Amino acid sequence: MTVSGTASASRTAPRPASRRATRRREASIGLLFVLPVLLFFVAFRFGPAIAGALLGFTDYQPGADTSWTGLDNFRRMTEDPLFWRALRTTLLYSVLAVPLSILAALAMALLVRRAFRGVKLFRSIFFLPVVTSLVLAGILFTWIFSAGGPWSSVMGAIGLPGQAWLSDTTLVIPALVVVAVWTRFGYGMLILLARLQDIPRELEEAALTDGANAWQRFRHIVLPELRPALFFLAVIETTVSFQVFDTVYVMTGGGPANASYMVVFQIYDQAFRYFDFGYASAIGVALFVMTMVVAVIQRLTVGRDR
């Protein structure tokens, strides 16, 4: 009776090949259902990017005939002094904004890492600038940095020059960096906080038992564990810094004397002020390539496995 029952069960059990075929069929049916949305996403996500890259090789202006110009726009870009100035300004802004944003995010993440009374309120307050409109933030900081505004009043109270920072060619970039740090450190804090909470407490407690001070515990235990998150933040912050536009448009308009004129602002000018979409697209392609190169360099340094 037992033998016959076992034989019957073995005959009714699905074979491995049959199970694989069933899984493939189910996967095909599932892909068929998501295919329309997937095609829609690919078309609207990558279609404009590909079209914009192709425009960089043309002389395209609305209402005029489009002609293929090859690398002419890129040659023009290398000979354009305004582009090189915008690139230098963008790099200076990024060199200041990226590390300061990450350091502020790391400091705030360490501050709210431990559970204490009101910690959730502090986390919410620190994250609030991230969900604040950049246009609203730009308007707010335009008033703060204006002559007679709160910032100039504080500077005057401590004996420093209280001029309007946004009207000074030397101070306008630091002012924009302050806005960048304020609006972005909350996102980095959230990423680093999630990683910090995954670090086993036993590691730090063991180091504390061995006599390690706070800096030694941070350097040898916490920092290595944060390396993947720091790499991710470095890439994200660099990309955002290279593409800064909203606050520049609202606060300075590229001034004074082109001191805050950045690459994306030049793309905007060429496309929507001079309607030279071909040249604007070429600058966009160059900016994309530079962003990818910097990301690779960051991968080889910050993101490298130790």
| pLDDT tens sequence across 160-191 | 666 788 888 888 999 999 999 999 999 999 99
- Phi then psi for residue 59, to 5 deg, are -105, 90
Q: How many domains does the chain have?
A: 2
- Tens of pLDDT, residues 17-35: 678 888 888 888 888 888 8
- Phi then psi for residue 252, to 5 deg, are -130, -25
pLDDT band at 15 (very low <50, low <70, confident <90, very high): low
Q: What is the CATH number of the domain that holds 206?
A: 1.10.3720.10
As a whole number, mean pLDDT of residues 40-47 equals 87
Most confident range (mean pLDDT) of 35-44, 113-122, 171-180 is 171-180
As a whole number, mean pLDDT of residues 90-97 equals 95
- pLDDT surpassing 60 at residue 201: yes
Looking at per-residue pLDDT, the higher value among 118 and 1 belongs to 118
In a domain, 281, yes or no: yes
Same structural domain for residues 229 and 199? yes
Domain membership of residue 23 as a residue range: 15-68
Span of 51-55, 99-103, 240-244 with lowest mean pLDDT: 51-55
Same structural domain for residues 119 and 50? no
Same structural domain for residues 22 and 58? yes
Alpha helices per DSSP H over the chain: 2-12, 16-55, 72-78, 81-111, 119-127, 134-144, 150-157, 172-196, 201-209, 214-217, 223-242, 246-251, 263-268, 277-301
Buried residues in 27-55 as b, exposed as e (16+ CB within 10 A): eeeeeeeeeeeeeeeeeeeeeeeeebeeb
Same structural domain for residues 39 and 112? no
Same structural domain for residues 43 and 85? no
pLDDT at 1 (0 to 100): 47
As a whole number, mean pLDDT of residues 135-149 equals 89
pLDDT at 206 (0 to 100): 82
In a domain, 43, yes or no: yes
Same structural domain for residues 295 and 247? yes
Same structural domain for residues 240 and 197? yes
Most confident range (mean pLDDT) of 113-127, 201-215, 220-234, 280-294 is 280-294
The two three-digit tokens of residue 116, written as one number: 């204490």
In a domain, 6, yes or no: no
Span of 55-59, 159-163, 279-283 with lowest mean pLDDT: 159-163
pLDDT at 303 (0 to 100): 61
In a domain, 148, yes or no: no
What is the C-alpha separation between 179 and 145, in angstroms, rounded? 10
Q: What is the DSSP letter of 130?
A: G
Same structural domain for residues 222 and 285? yes
What is the C-alpha separation between 114 and 244, in angstroms, rounded? 34
pLDDT band at 74 (very low <50, low <70, confident <90, very high): very high
Same structural domain for residues 58 and 189? no
Same structural domain for residues 42 and 115? no
Long-range contacts of 244-249 (CB under 8 A, 24+ apart): 244/90, 244/93, 244/176, 244/180, 246/134, 246/135, 246/138, 247/134, 247/137, 247/138, 247/141, 247/176, 247/179, 247/180, 247/183, 248/176, 249/138
Span of 24-33, 156-165, 263-272, 294-303 with lowest mean pLDDT: 156-165
- Tens of pLDDT, residues 220-248: 888 888 888 998 999 999 999 999 999 99
pLDDT at 12 (0 to 100): 53
Q: Is the peptide bond before 81 cis (omega within 30 degrees of 0)?
A: no
pLDDT at 306 (0 to 100): 52
Same structural domain for residues 41 and 114? no
Q: What is the DSSP letter of 274?
A: S
* Cβ atoms of residues 194 and 185 within 8 Å: no
Same structural domain for residues 53 and 185? no
